[in-house]
A and B are shown apart, each in its own frame.
Chain A
């Protein structure tokens, strides 16, 4: 079919919606990494001695490690000395105490992003911690959360105000030496979110963090730690954007979740970092370590991710199912278009008895993009009656893209039940024709079919996020079929 090619190209070239930069005074250290830079970051944040030591230990171990090469990714060599490891928007000495004190330019940025940062918009019931380059800018709704006993603040504040909690849990899920990027993050992380839900508390609202990389030549290394104490419940949302830049920028975050007895954490991500242009120039390298520890019995951790952005995504949100009867879930949609590459998936490590995990992964590749699912399901020797169900489907749009599936299953217990199913197919010609015969435009028909393909994952997202995710999917894939 001779598709109207000008039209298609125009759509493909459609601008990255969030590609504006914000001009504000930033306090940035020169590029390069050594113990002095780490000490500088630690001093700048007025950290206690133990944390500096912790960072330096991570750094020294990092020096002995090599970039991982096992992923199905083509990564240009990264010069870690060319990155600036700290960039904070300059603000008044003591930092903003309320939104009125926040740089209006920043607020404008968030408004462009559609983040409901201002209190009046908070009726939606979302508390937001916004991280801009390396520093947490503002956390909303503190009062209401405090009433419920929930701690939700920037990581730097948590280090000052709740040092015992931080010391107890930091690095307890992702140790400093876990992997190359986690070690790097541990050495240089600048800020992030901290969240603690006390015993028996159901967090009264969704918690949310928005990340944005703004300054050029900077990396973003945030650290998120969420602890759900016994019987508590929290739903946490994370969104990300970055401006358009010609060079690649590094984002190497670490997220640690701890769920104690009967606790539940639901963690949703809509990742929309700048993917680079249609020739593969620029874009974010998104190398993230996310892991949840179902430490208590009957605990549950659920990851939902919609990955539409980044030039390269390297990310495996995982669950350690230690507590008996604990449950791990992973729902993922990963879309790659043009020259994007994604190698993403999960690990479900069954340790406790009667543990259950579900993995639903939907990969969509278009143009020259490469999309890989990589997963591990491990049933340890004593994990009696462990159950896993995995389904991973790939949809291909265009004859130059690739879809790959690398599932590892290791079972050491005879009562385990593990099921893995995967399919890969082209977007259906029959389905497209059917929709078009009913009068629906090709672009809309593609959107409709792709959204249907991802429905099992979208229904796991909170309402507002699901809508955003669907829109993003549409934008990412516009013009992908012609």
Chain B
């Protein structure tokens, strides 16, 4: 589904990603871990096409086509969803309205007719249960006045409604208490399926107790320096990141 080839990317002339290779197949869950400043969030942002990040080398293929030239919305139409580390507040714009506009934009690009109000509401109601969203949050301005946990839940809720092919969760666990973490994880687990893939970007192993990854990658100084199964995450939790770095340096 996703193939990252020798990806190099800069932020304001500063090299952040220095040659990333990664293949993600449908149905798989990949965890990307690493110390602060290793480039985790940059990777998430580059994948979704955020301004201010320049790809200097390499390629990103999504379903065999390069997406480097695509605008963020075009990537979203293709089925890439980013759950933001810091969900943005948009005063005056209704949460539900944003969602409806998004659903219908994506449907339009798939050649599907727009959902009418009744169909849309049914869809929303169903998905809300998934993340135990309070109904009053629906009619508030996007993320405005939401608590940290509510914002993250809102991200997963949006993902559930938009049903992407690839979900990228950028530090979704940061700032969540254990109950909120459980709810968010249940939401994600529910969305796991054979034709959908996830990339979990996280600093802590904690999230992976609830969402079992198929693969774990360690990112350090813009490169993946070690890959393994779920047991790698536990090892990292135990021993920290330094030993992986040392190992990589020795090699």
Contacts and interface: CB of A to CB of B under 8 A. Distances in A.
Question: Is there a contact between chains A and B in the complex with CB atoms less than 8 Å apart?
Answer: yes
Nearest to B86: A430
B98 A448 contact: yes
A455 B92 contact: yes
A436 B72 contact: yes
Interface string B70-91: 0111011100011010011111
B6 interface: no
Contacts of A428: 88, 90
Contact of B106 (A429, A439, A448): A439
Query: For A428, A429, A437, A439, which residue has the most chain B Cβ atoms within 10 angstroms?
Result: A439
B50 A433 contact: yes
Nearest to B78: A439
Interface in B90-115: 90-93, 97-99, 101-102, 105-106, 109
A436 B142 CA distance: 14
Nearest to B79: A439
Nearest to B93: A452
B51 A438 contact: no
Nearest to A448: B93
A73 interface: no
Contacts of A442: 71, 73
B92 A436 contact: no
A433 B142 CA distance: 14
Interface string A417-459: 0000000000011110111111111101100110111111000
A439 B90 contact: no
A422 B99 CA distance: 30
Interface string B12-54: 0000000000000000000000000000000000001111000
Query: For B71, B73, B81, B105, which residue has the most chain A Cβ atoms within 10 angstroms?
Result: B73
Interface residues of B, number: 32
B162 interface: yes
Contact of B98 (A429, A433, A440, A456): A440
Query: For A428, A429, A438, A455, which residue has the most chain B Cβ atoms within 10 angstroms?
Result: A438
Contact of A439 (B76, B91, B97): B76
Nearest to B71: A436
Interface in B153-196: 158, 162
Nearest to B83: A437
A424 to B, nearest CB: 15
A434 B158 contact: no
A430 B88 contact: yes
Given A434-B84, A438-B76, A439-B76, A449 B93 contact: yes
A441 B82 contact: no
B97 to A, nearest CB: 8
Contact of B48 (A430, A435, A437, A445): A437
Nearest to B158: A438
Interface in A336-387: none
B92 A451 contact: yes
Given A439-B105, A440-B101, A429 B51 contact: yes
Contacts of B205: none
A123 interface: no
A1 interface: yes
B102 A440 contact: yes
B141 interface: yes
A444 B48 CA distance: 19
10 contacts: A431-B89, A436-B76, A437-B49, A437-B81, A437-B84, A439-B77, A439-B102, A439-B105, A448-B98, A448-B101
Given A448-B97, A451-B92, 12 more contacts: A428-B88, A433-B72, A434-B87, A436-B71, A436-B76, A439-B77, A440-B98, A440-B105, A442-B71, A452-B92, A453-B91, A456-B92
Interface of A: 1, 428-431, 433-442, 444-445, 448-449, 451-456
The 9 closest A-B pairs by CB, nearest first: A452-B92, A455-B92, A439-B76, A452-B93, A436-B72, A438-B102, A434-B88, A436-B73, A439-B105
